[in-house]
Amino acid sequence: MKKIVLTSIVVLATSTALMAGVNPGACKGCHGHAWEKKALGRSAIVANMTHKEIARVLIAYKTTKETDEMVMKTQVARYSNDALKAFAQTIGK
């Protein structure tokens, strides 16, 4: 437990520096306050995804051509891959 808390603090500190404004407030309308919702009735529940998986999909959305994924493309387009990776460490499991 202690280790988990410490890790979270380190991750938070690093991500705040790198994040350049990934603003989770903008996500929660669709994904829920605890990332517990299926966004627009069709996404996976992000709370159940691993950090690694989240990082991978967020970066992939930047270059997607899938119509269904355009909603997420517009959400992540402005962020660097590093910012998305760092942010992914703060959500999911």
Q: Counting contacts by CB under 6 A, is residue 43 touching ligand HEC?
A: yes
Q: Which ranges in the chain belong to alpha helices (H)?
A: 2-18, 25-31, 51-61, 70-76, 81-88
Q: In this structure, are residues 74 and 92 in contact, taking their beta carbons and an 8 Å threshold?
A: no
Q: Given the complex with ligand HEC, which of 62 and 69 has the nearer CB atom?
A: 69
Q: Given the complex with ligand HEC, which of 13 and 91 has the nearer CB atom?
A: 91
| Phi and psi, residue 45, nearest 5° | -80, 110
Which residues 6+ apart lie within 8 Å of 17 measured at CB?
Answer: none
| Residues of this chain, 8-37, that bind ligand HEC according to CB under 6 A | 22, 26-27, 29-31
Exactly one of 1, 42, 65, 67 binds ligand HEC (CB under 6 A); which one?
Answer: 42
Judged by the rule CB under 6 A, the positions of this chain that interact with ligand HEC are 22, 26-27, 29-31, 39-40, 42-44, 46, 54, 57-58, 68-69, 71-72, 75
